[in-house]
Structure 1
Amino acid sequence: MKKLLPAALAATLFAVLPAAHADTLKMACNISGAMKPYCEHVKQRFESETPHKLEFIEMPAASDEKLALYQQIFAAKDGGAVDVLSVDVIWVGLLDKHLYDLTDKVKDLEPAFFPNNWKNNVVNGRVKAVPGQLDAGMLYYRKDLLEKYKEQPPKTWEEMARIATKIQKAERDAGLKNMWGLVFQGKAYEGLSCDVLEWVASYNGGTFVDPAGNVTVNNPKAAKALNTAASWVGTIAPKGVMGYQEEESRAVFQNGDAVFMRNWPYAYLLTQDKSSPVKGKVGVAPIPMGGEDGQHAATLGGWQWAVSAYSKNPEAGAKLVRILSDAETQKRAFLLLGIPPARMESYQDAEVQAKAPYLAEFKDVFANAVPRPSTPTRSQFPKVSKAVFNAGYDVLSGRATGEQAVADLEDKLKRIKGREWK
């Protein structure tokens, strides 16, 4: 005859059983700052749609510090530190072996996202992250000045240079001695790698390393792109551009001292601040093509959602990623924080359009965004990027021609690669 459990013990066990299937996941979200309402929205949805709980961990604001912390956690294979994390678009290849394979959990989502953004997160055919927010290079221009001089936004770099030269001269002749035609990021750092990629890809010169891992930079179109950019320095762009990052470029443009600016989407709202001298005078266009046979090629940026390979409940992590990347959550991120959504459908959303009509202009830019070769070059991408921005800087400063730079860069990249990208 079976013995029955005492009623009190049985009640306790049955009360505990459902919780045995629930976990508390940890997600990287800085709830102490401006992201608090967004984090709380995600928590409410996750806890109402799954049996699990959600906690948040604070991450450093600086991306390099965030990466260093992730690498420390992964080196220890710490499954309790973080389950779901945001990763920079250039970290997916670098962190590949530490990220859970999401392929079977999210492959149905692919059609919802811009193709190049989705492909960036695929390593050796496996999906390692899902797009969370978008960033891409774009050309800002002074609408009032182009209208004044009866010009349209340039389609090619050659048109941009012609218009910049014309307006710069006319405005200086009118007494605005500080007027320049163009500002961009010319300092030797990752931002210059982004600019160089846009120049080279826009002339159909490739992306330095192709998706299969082949070094492709040594070609005439890449050389022409670099020579073209070098011709701007000291003519339509100040020589000081060699020390500019994003904020230095924005300061000059927003002060009203440049016709064109290459920068990221974040700059738009700042140019429209009530204290901005160019409020209401700024337009946005895709990165120009390299000649009539070139292409619009904006460098892809942004952040992705991934699950730690060491998570104790990666399936629950995958469910959270689906919530983070769905239309509702991405719209909420935009409405609360101004973060450009990664899902294409968001750009047709009535609430999004009402809050930011300018986003419609961004959609074409995002659609043509070109990934940096971080996925094929994996953990060696930081060395690749350094080689690229140093080559670009050498050409801009006149220390090398475009032809010399791409030949030298080919040698350097092949040495970095060795037998294969690791």
Structure 2
Amino acid sequence: MKLGYGPAALAVGTMLVTGLFTGSALAVDLAIVSGAVGDDIKMLRSNLDRYEKETGNTVKIVEMPQSTTDQFGQYRLWLSAGNADIDVYRTDVIWAPQLANHLLDLTEAAKDVAGAHFPSIIESQTVDGKLVAIPMFTDAPALYYRKDLLEKYGAEPPKTWEELTATAQMVQDKEREAGNGDFHGFVFQGAAYEGLTCDALEWVKSHGGGQIVEADGTISINNPDAIKAINTAKSWIGTISPEGVLGYKEEDARGVWQTGSAAFMRNWPYAYSLSNSDDSAVKGKFDVAPLPSGGDGSAATLGGWNLAVSKYSKHPDEAIGLALFLASEESQKRRATELSRLPTIEALYDDPDVAAAQPIIPSWKEIFLNAVPRPSAPTKKDYNEVSKEFWTAVHDSLSGNGDTEANFKKLEAKLKRLKGSGWE
């Protein structure tokens, strides 16, 4: 008999193995839906191969577009229709309250392993007392910088956005004078999607402009500090950042950076290992630092991905076992060492193998612990609409489609109307 990974044995008394895995006599076919950047799908397939070998079950990957906004839209359509073809969903940290009604409660199945994860992440995936997703990896962005160029031109990693603006302009000017006409100072995620919400929240929060909607539900975005933050970013377009950055997502920014055509990049940890790959023009030439401050400290948006089981799955026990397998310490360690994905299991930050393979991960823990959550908790099921209104106002401002003051005044009015119907 092969080892299965479903928690059905909790009910029938079959012996648990390592607190996660249970006996199962019949192999089943499962499907997991996942978005990805970098080598995420390759790693997922590798872990699934291990799972299949140990269980006899088979798992198909349903790939999603890079945009998390597009992913969420498709997820909501499938789940609302009661789609039984998808068993496990890879979910963004902000989606738990919006999808909870369609997901199985993992509290009992994960009771022996939940305590190993950062409590704040477990809490973020708990809705009305039910654990609706088990953490897979966490995320917090940093500032990537060309240490070779900063040393060459006698500069230091910037600690403020003003310093970044000046240093990026200086390095860009000197590189272009040297014949590198396609060189840019700073690349980030400027397209109109969830990624811009993350970037812009960091600008606003670090300037003392709040978190769009505060924890108590107060709409705070229309204030002078927030407006100053966006206007600072607007000044980058066409100067230190290419105008095309207004269409950049994570992989677009990484593409420019990894070819050696940017001095600075804002991105997530996954880009670290890829930037050090053998075919990278910046291998060994860069480092990372906390994102700059606007005067109120550095702010990094809390990201991360989790594994949720559809309540419409035809094989719920096996699907829960698959989610637990992919969230296990062994699977997280592989993601950390090979892809520089930040673990949600705290002990892995002190693991010598992880530190040897990705020295940056232990130091990234400080960045992660100071990460800023998006306002999904206070806005509940309206979060996606709130975020869309926010990134639209920001993108309009960066693009010159109205000034920031007017755009944020309209944004505030729209958010008040949403709140008026109750954050649902």
Same fold? TM cut 0.5: yes
1:6 maps to none
Question: Is the Cα contact below 8 Å between 1:223 and 1:405 reproduced in 2?
Answer: no
- 1:369-408 pair list within 5 angstroms: 369-408=371-410
Task: List aligned pairs for 1:276-295, cutoff 5 A.
Answer: 276-291=280-295, 294-295=296-297
Cα offsets for 1:264-293 (capped at 9, x unmatched): 2232233223232222111112222222xx
Deviation at 1:142, TM superposition (A): 0.3
Question: Aligned equivalents of 1:71 and 1:399: distance in 2?
Answer: 31
Query: 1:121-132 residue pairs with structure 2 within 5 A?
Result: 121-132=125-136
Tell whether 2:198 aligns with 1:194.
yes
Give the letter for the 1:418 counterpart.
Answer: G
Q: Pick the aligned partner of 1:146 from 150, 160, 167.
A: 150
Change (3 A) 1:215 1:340: same
Q: Closer, same or farther in 2 for the Cα pair 1:66/1:177, shift >3 Å?
A: closer
2:237 pairs with 1:228: no
- Residue matched to 1:180: 184
> Percent identity at matched positions?
44
Q: Partners in 2 of 1:34 and 1:158 — Cα distance? A: 38
Alignment of 1:89-108 (within 5 A): 89-103=93-107, 106=110
Give the Å deviation of 1:68.
5.6
Using the alignment, how far apart are the partners of 2:216 and 2:125 within structure 1? 14
Matches of 1:149 and 1:356, distance apart in 2: 28
Task: Provide the TM-score with structure 2 as the length reference.
Answer: 0.80
2:308 counterpart letter in structure 1: A
TM-superposed CA distance for 1:110, in Å, is 5.7
Deviation, 1:141, is: 0.5
Instruction: Note the alpha carbon deviations across 1:290-342, whole angstroms, 9 max, x for none.
Output: 22xx2322223332022333457867765654444332231134456654422
Are residue 239 (structure 1) and residue 243 (structure 2) matched?
A: yes
Q: Flag the structure with larger Rg.
A: 1
Distance in 2 of aligned mates of 1:406 and 1:247: 28
Tell me, yes or no, if structure 1 residue 75 matches structure 2 residue 80.
yes
Which residue of structure 1 aligns with residue 258 of structure 2?
Answer: 254
Code of the aligned partner of 1:35: L
Letter in 1 for 2:95: W
Given that 1:131 and 1:305 are in contact with CA atoms closer than 8 Å, whether structure 2 keeps it comes out as yes
Give the Cα–Cα distance (whole angstroms) in 1 for the partners of residues 114 and 297 of structure 2.
Answer: 24
How far apart, in 2, do the equivalents of 1:221 and 1:115 lie?
32
Query: 1:86 & 1:244 partners in 2: Cα distance?
Result: 23
1:301-316 equivalences in 2 (<5 Å): 301-310=303-312
Q: CA RMSD in A?
A: 3.5
Task: Output the CA distance in 2 between the equivalents of 1:254 and 1:337.
Answer: 15
TM-score (norm 1): 0.80
Deviations 1:37-79 (A, max 9, x none): 311434566x5xxxxx75524323326676566445533446x
2:173 to 169, 173, 178: 169
Whole-angstrom distance in 2 between the partners of 1:262 and 1:182: 8
1:245 shift after superposition:
2.5
Displacement after TM superposition at 1:81 (Å): 4.2
CA 1:89 to 1:202, structure 2 compared with 1: closer, same or farther past 3 Å?
Answer: same
Task: State the AA in 1 paired with 2:247.
Answer: G
1:13 alignment partner in structure 2: none
Q: Is the 8 A contact 2:270 2:339 kept in 1?
A: no
Aligned-partner SS, 1:302: strand
Residue in structure 1 matched with residue 45 of structure 2 by the alignment: 36
Change (3 A) 1:415 1:59: same
